[in-house]
Amino acid sequence: MFRNIDSTFKKLRSSQQINLGGIRHIREPFQPLKRCPRWVCVEDAIKIINSEHLVFIQGGAATPLELVRAMTEHGVCNNLRGVRLIHMALEGDAPFANPEFEKHFRSISLYIGANVREAVNEGRADCIPLFLHEAPKLFYEQRIVPDVALIHVSAPDPRGFCSLGVSVDCTRAAICTAKVIVAQVNEHMPRSFGDTVIHSSHIDWAVKYDCPLPCIASTAPNDIELEIGKFIAQRLVEDGATLQLGIGNIPDAVLCALVNHKDLGIHSEIIGDTIVDLVERGNITNKNKIKHRGRLVGSLGIGTKRLYDFLHNNPFVEMLAINYVNDPRVISMQPKMTAINSCIEMDITGQVCSDSLGCKMYSGFGGQLDFIRGAALGQDGRGKAIIAFPSITSKGESKIQAVLKLGAGVVTTRAHVHYVVTEHGIAQLFGKTLRQRANALIQIAHPDHRECLEKAAFERLKTMPTKYL
């Protein structure tokens, strides 16, 4: 039990609970309660965490780094045991994942970030494979009920409302079901529109800590990535299309090649800096969208101060919960929905590995299949599901393989893949036989590897790959 919660607080929490179809929920924290948060120093706020607690941590560029730091020190100094931490990918330091703190904390990722990847693969941390649009369901169905939620919000406005800023994802669901909410309140956090609102009276412990948000700047796309971007922009993206892109050099290369396109829309899990360029140029207007016409929709913003300034008090952007943004049914309603994703490797039948390097976990399912399926189901019949990647790795190994590496996870099945793009061209796989698929993929593989792939295809399929039936 929590030692520092009085009976009044317990009654307030109880009064927020409602019953929907037999499932116990907490009311959305839009309306103010008749109380104020307790403004304390970070060391006092974090004392609420005890051994065996389940703690949710808001992720992405909204990772509450000061709360994470204090929590780690509190857990070690007080010899807490078995504190479980549930989170999406976190930015910045993750000291709780260090080997020496294994007895105190165990991280559970819904999407693995670089700062906990080693811990997951060494067995000191866990991950939950799931489609991101189903992440909030874990909280709403009470499969996960956080004892404490650590979040990062903007300063309250004159009416007492704060904003979750750059990261809504499953945070909205977590704060609706958490028993206690501890917030890092930061004047640098953008005040965004959408599902980001939380009234300060729903925050139990508030810590004032102003600091710039983590900046994640992409490197400039290289020649190979620029070539991939041109193929996609010139041959697959239509004027008036709605786009989903991830973060990285290939999405940036695609966006750089869209400067002559008109009336594009954005409905994307993640939004980054390069999107700002196209908005300012007038390429992105969102005027043709069926839902959220005239609005750019995302769930996470990850980039530099330029992006965060763009998001601040900007009604052109709606930051919405990930169970909505990533819902394939919602995605399918967007006009000419074009989903562009990447992968770690692909086999000659079109199976896509995106979450592991062989048996070693690397990231997670993310929203790839959410958007690949949503685009393919496009209600206007003009959606495009695209997997794009360089034909070879940095070590010269082909990313198109005869078979996936031992232990490689299939995130996107061969039936889901429609278009595959490398710097050597575009392969259209939908409706093709295994032989036709192998032939199409070998044609866009790196020339140095095509002969070996043809031989391997013959051994696997017992016949030569061909473009004919």
Q: Which residues are catalytic?
A: 269
The residues near 245 (Cβ < 8 Å, ≥ 6 apart) are 251, 254, 255, 268, 270, 272, 275, 340
| Largest separation between any pair of C-alpha atoms in the chain | 74
Compute the distance between CA of residue 239 and CA of residue 260 in angstroms, rounded to an integer: 9
The DSSP letter of residue 146 is -
Radius of gyration of the chain (CA): 23
In whole angstroms, what is the distance from residue 449 CA to residue 429 CA? 20
Strands laid side by side in the 410-412 sheet: 400-401, 345-347, 352-353, 410-412
Nearest to 138 by CA among 195, 89, 196, 88: 88
- Output the CA–CA distances (angstroms, integers) from residue 264 to 115, 239, 349, 368, in the order listed: 35, 6, 32, 20
For 191, residues 6+ apart whose C-beta sits below 8 A from its C-beta are 154, 157, 163, 165, 312, 313
* 309: number of Cβ within 10 Å: 12
Count other Cβ atoms within 10 Å, centred on residue 446: 18
**Percentages (nearest 5) of helix, strand, coil residues in the chain:** 30, 20, 50
In whole angstroms, give the CA distance from residue 64 to residue 123. 25
Q: Closest Cα partner for 16 from 283, 202, 211?
A: 202
Backbone angles phi, psi at 182, to 5 degrees: -115, 125
Look up residue 60 and give its two tokens: 């992405």
Contacts of 307 (CB under 8 A, 6+ apart): 271, 272, 273, 275, 276, 301
Find all residues with CB under 8 Å of 431, minimum gap 6, and list them: none
- CB-side neighbour CA atoms (13 Å) of 197: 14
Amino acid at 340: I
Count CA atoms closer than 13 A to 52's CA, side-chain side: 2
